[in-house]
Amino acid sequence: MTLNETHDAGLQSWVVSANTGKSDFPIQNLPFAVFRRKSNSEDFRGGVAIGDQVLDMAAVRNAKILSSEVQLQVEAAAQSQLNTLMGMTHTHWSALRLALSRALRAGAAEEAALKGCLVPQADVEYAVPAQIGDYTDFYTSVHHATNVGKLFRPTNPLMENYKWVPIGYHGRASSIRVSGVDFKRPNGQIKAPDVNPVLKPCNRLDYELEMGIYAGSANAWGNAIGMDDAENHIFGLCLLNDWSARDVQAWEYQPLGPFLSKNFATSISPWIVTLEALVPYRTAFTRPTDDPQPLSYLSSEANSQHGALDVQLTVAIQTEKMRAEGKQAEQITQTSYRHAYWTMAQLVAHHTVNGCDLQPGDLLGTGTLSGPTIDQAGALLEITEGGKTPLSLSNGESRTFLLDGDAIVFTGWCEKPGAARIGFGEVRATVLPAHKA
């Protein structure tokens, strides 16, 4: 994937709200989601963000506004789930992106026809944008792994395999929800020292700042995806919150890893930013020279040159008290995806090296994307050192772990001189009281 006319930072849209320079959704972005109007029984369908509007792809399909050369892609983008579009090739995705870019530019002949296909984002609600058949969560931040490891193994925080193999586990696809869907505090088996375990609500509830990677076209079962082909099998990225019950996790995770501590809820942002939109923000992938270098199946020249992504990521918290006082969420973390120890291509290559077949719409979580300093930590477990050092908020409140009524908000964006700022929107959810066990 290379820079092309759709990335031109000088492009302007006839949708004026896309031209502010601060919008997450300028014409250089054009991410996909599934939406419908609020308080409406109409069907969900695919849409594309432009400024503060959603371009209704079902309306575009019905009006046959775009060229017949991309009609198959338009049909797929109009569906209630985007798996068919995801299952196409990079060539198909790129052609649709180019057609949308040209039709939405200032002065485009399609302006009059497309104006009737716009719906204000303020008037819509979203659904999970694909049928997610499988969900795998990785552990790609060496800083997060080290910070967490120090809590349990101060002299040997990283396991021997960490710098050799992308560590992951299979999560629960059925409990993935779109931003804005709140969830109940989970119950689970918890054991305090010197007493028998009990079933009770989690009291060490945490968030994890991640990105989600949607699989595109499938590989045949039994066939690995090589590094040079891996990104052709990635449709795009979103924001992801891997909610975690730390006290449940501590008791259950050995010997087979997380189970009930992770499968109760995962929150994702509604918009999928395509890999092509992110081309201007690719950056070199390097390892410290004294670290093990990736094995050959996890290495390529292209990955070394531009395998990493510089996506700025933030975490903010809005407590119940803040909400009652009309205060916005308070930012507590800012970091970047560029700090990841393993790249997107490496995750895909490793996931399939044994012949595992990825399907369109499968979701890969990056794992918590902490940076090298504590103000870049992506989980309360790190910030509070396992609950020993409370996080102080500006209104006088403090947190070791999350309380009922706390809302967590992630945002993500890319910007640099000479390129248009593009964003991912947000992923937000509020913790509700546990159900009676």
Please give the Cα distance from 329 to 320 (Å, whole number). Answer: 10
Parallel, antiparallel or unpaired: strands 419-432 and 183-184:
parallel
Which residue out of 7, 143, 144, 351 is catalytically annotated?
144
| Alpha-carbon torsion (79, 81, 82, 87), positive or negative | negative
Residues belonging to the chain: 437
Closest to 409 in 3D by CA, of 327, 330, 311:
330
Helices within 253-310 (DSSP H only): 301-306
144 catalytic? Reply is yes
Q: Hey, what amino acid is at 321?
A: K
Please give the Cα distance from 397 to 403 (Å, whole number). Answer: 11
Alpha carbon of residue 56 to chain centroid = 23
Closest to 210 in 3D by CA, of 50, 360, 83, 370:
370
Helix (H) or strand (E) segment spanning residue 349: helix 344-352
Contacts 24+ apart (CB under 8 A), 250-254: 250/191, 251/189, 251/190, 251/191, 251/197, 252/188, 252/189
197 preceded by a cis bond (ω within 30 of 0) = no
| Contact yes or no for 238/272 (Cβ under 8 A) | yes
Question: CB-based burial of residue 396 (10 Å sphere; 0-12 exposed, 13-18 middle, 19+ buried)?
Answer: exposed
Catalytic residues: 144
